[in-house]
């Protein structure tokens, strides 16, 4: 049991008590416990959605060829979280995603009314599969970070430059 708890903690970053509760609710089944933790994380993210995210970090990535780069504005509630290495790594990973995939919009809400339904689904950053793990979307990454860190986290903008 201890090994399973540690394995799930390494995968998710969730608290030990949360993992124990999820395993109890799932009858010891690892996959069901992961789903329980994911549900709990989504509930936390939804609860924090109304909060203001006035602090943040600008993540950057320059591709090895030096011909394409991006900046991503990742917002959070406190400067304490903005200085957290995991938060900064998330900003960097999202900047890398922007370089690799070239999205046009952060979310569906950013798509102009006259283009809704016409645009490429990959044009929306939050809907894209993550380049490092295609089983997750960028929205999943942000939700997981919100659940783990305990603050509202949102992508407020990005810019992609190329030569």
What is the C-alpha to C-alpha distance for residues 124 and 143, in angstroms, rounded to an integer? 16
Domain co-membership, 97 together with 62: yes
Angle CA(25)–CA(150)–CA(57) in degrees, nearest 5? 145
Instruction: From 56, 29, 64, select the one nearest 145 (Cα to Cα).
Output: 56
Q: Do the beta carbons of residue 45 and residue 146 sit within 8 Å?
A: yes
What CATH number should be reported for the domain holding residue 10? 1.10.8.10
What is the C-alpha to C-alpha distance for residues 13 and 133, in angstroms, rounded to an integer? 16
What is the C-alpha to C-alpha distance for residues 149 and 145, in angstroms, rounded to an integer? 6
Residue 32 is classified by DSSP as H
Look at residues 48, 66, 83 and tell me which one is the last residue of a structural domain: 48
- Each residue's pLDDT, cut to its tens digit, for the chain (163 residues) gives 778 888 877 777 777 888 888 888 888 888 888 888 777 776 666 666 666 667 899 999 999 999 999 999 999 999 999 999 999 999 999 999 999 999 999 998 888 888 777 667 789 999 999 999 999 999 999 998 988 888 889 999 999 999 9
Number of domains in the chain: 2
Instruction: From 100, 81, 94, select the one nearest 138 (Cα to Cα).
Output: 94
> What does pTM read for this prediction?
0.70
Structure tokens at 94: 């999202």
- Domain extent for 12: 2-48
């Amino acid at each position: 049991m201890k090994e399973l708890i540690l394995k799930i903690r390494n995968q998710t970053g969730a608290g030990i008590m949360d993992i124990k509760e999820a395993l109890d609710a799932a009858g010891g089944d690892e996959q069901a416990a992961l789903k329980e933790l994911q549900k709990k994380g989504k509930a936390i993210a939804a609860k924090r959605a109304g909060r203001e995210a006035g602090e943040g970090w600008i993540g950057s990535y320059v591709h090895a060829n030096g011909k394409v780069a991006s900046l991503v504005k990742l917002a959070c509630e406190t400067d304490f979280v903005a200085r957290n290495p995991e938060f900064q790594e998330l900003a960097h990973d999202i900047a890398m995603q922007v370089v690799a995939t070239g999205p046009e919009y952060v979310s569906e809400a950013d798509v102009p009314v006259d283009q809704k339904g016409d645009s490429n689904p990959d044009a929306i950053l939050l809907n894209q599969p993550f380049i490092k793990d295609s089983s997750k979307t960028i929205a999943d990454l942000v939700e997981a970070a919100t659940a783990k860190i305990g603050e509202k986290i949102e992508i407020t903008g990005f810019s992609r430059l190329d030569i």
